[in-house]
Amino acid sequence: MCLSTLAGVLTAAALFVSAAAPSAASAAPAGPAAASVEARHPAFREDHVRNGAQFQKVLDDIVASGAPGVIAEVRDADGVWTGRSGKGRLGRDEPPRADGMFRVGSVTKTFVATTVLQLVAEGRLNLDDPVERHLPGLVPNGEKITVRHVLSHRSGLFNYTDSLWPGGLQGMYDTRFKRYTPRELVAEANRHEPAFAPGTAGGYSNTNYVVLGMLIEKSTGNTARREIVERIVKPLRLRRTSFPATSTGIPGPHAHAYMRLHGSDSPYVDVTESGMSWAWTAGAMISTTHDLNTFFKALIGGYLLPGRLMREMKEARTLGVGEPYGLGIARLENPLFGTAYGHTGGTPGFTTHAFTLADGSRQVTVSINSMADTEKEHIAGGKALKALLSMDMQVVRAGFRDERRFRGPAGVAAFAKGLPRRAGQRPAAGLASPAAA
């Protein structure tokens, strides 16, 4: 299935994991270990090689589906495994760096939702506040659309990325350095009738998360970027995570980003240098597999939100397509691993899958350096995520040197000690210790 417009990728195909669950046999493929499997531990033994081959096959299958390259990190109690396959730059014999940075797309939404829910915990916002109360005249039906509705994609607001580029992917490519303001993005959505009355149905819309970015700024007097950085990025020491303001590049080692402009038979074009103002708080952030796994481990562990709001966040309902969706987070169910929470992201040049098991025992992030264009590519990414969430890792003892800082509650709570406090502001809710159940 070829997606002819960017809107289709952003709203239907690249947002949720919908591939069929792999069988137990496909979750543990056999084969020789490739050189790109990285196990970081001095006591690397033959059993690591056998298990590493299983992971390598999962990544190799993504490249075989048509993607240029892929990197992944899997983290659990046994340690950390990183892997890669394919190329970091087409035309060169250069694999992607396993620690490379990438645009995370809609995974940004979980950072934004967490920030909004912290403001709810502080009493600055209420989930049942109408948008009109804080941003009068911004959107149609604003007096009936609540903060909860925009967090859960139940506002009915038209998705602005469905019409922002009349020329489809070619139009997006030709204007990739154009700068948009948040109000311009919402105005684009307002040119169209709402999809449904607020709260009566569900429909994924990037407009919701631009509105949430504006709510953050109105409630705090600061930029949404600053609030996300001060509340989440700095306390968790996500040193390679950023929210670009006007930069069109990626501020560190990275794979090149690719997309096809005219279907699966057209060649890849390089979109590594691209402006992301069109995505803003709906999908502009940059991160790494390691940082995203750290974020989701802290989030699901209750270190960023109090228990009652974490339960609200995980309360997921169907949006009609894809996985059930809560407040900025998707729920994935599978008999091989049970329940997982996270988000996927599709943006020109990158596809991201970042999920954690519900009990926090494992985190998986997969980054592909292309925007998925075919059904085969979408399925390969989804199958890889599910395989890595369920695959046996007991023999893997590889770990990063700094992994000790995040082992157990004490490791996470230590991050909170240096949390900056602005004048008159309470610290981020629930960060200093696990939230009460």
Task: Give the up-direction half-sphere exposure of residue 22: CA atoms within 13 A in the CB hemisphere.
Answer: 23
Q: How many CB atoms lie within 10 A of CB 42?
A: 5
Region label for 360, one of left (φ > 0), alpha (ψ between -120 and 50) or beta (otherwise): left
φ, ψ (nearest 5 deg) of residue 116: -60, -45
270: part of which helix (H) or strand (E)? strand 268-270
- Residue 205 catalytic? no
Gap between the Cα atoms of 373 and 309, Å rounded: 36
Looking at this protein, which amino acid is placed at residue 111?
Answer: F
Gap between the Cα atoms of 286 and 283, Å rounded: 9
DSSP one-letter code for 403: G
Looking at this protein, which amino acid is placed at residue 154?
Answer: R
Ranges of beta strands (E only) in 165-247 are none
Query: 3-state class of 80 per DSSP?
Result: strand
- Token pair in block for residue 241: 């995570």
> What torsion do the CA atoms of 188, 193, 199, 204 make, to the nearest 10 degrees?
-50
Q: At what angle do helices 108-121 and 307-314 cross, to 10 degrees?
A: 140
Gap between the Cα atoms of 172 and 7, Å rounded: 10
Query: Which of these, 6, 26, 25, lies nearest to 14 by C-alpha position?
Result: 6
Q: Are 227 and 214 in contact (CB under 8 A)?
A: no
DSSP bridge partners of 130: 146
Gap between the Cα atoms of 293 and 353, Å rounded: 11
Candidate list 36, 85, 106, 370, residue with the active-site label = 106
Which residues participate in catalysis according to the annotation? 106
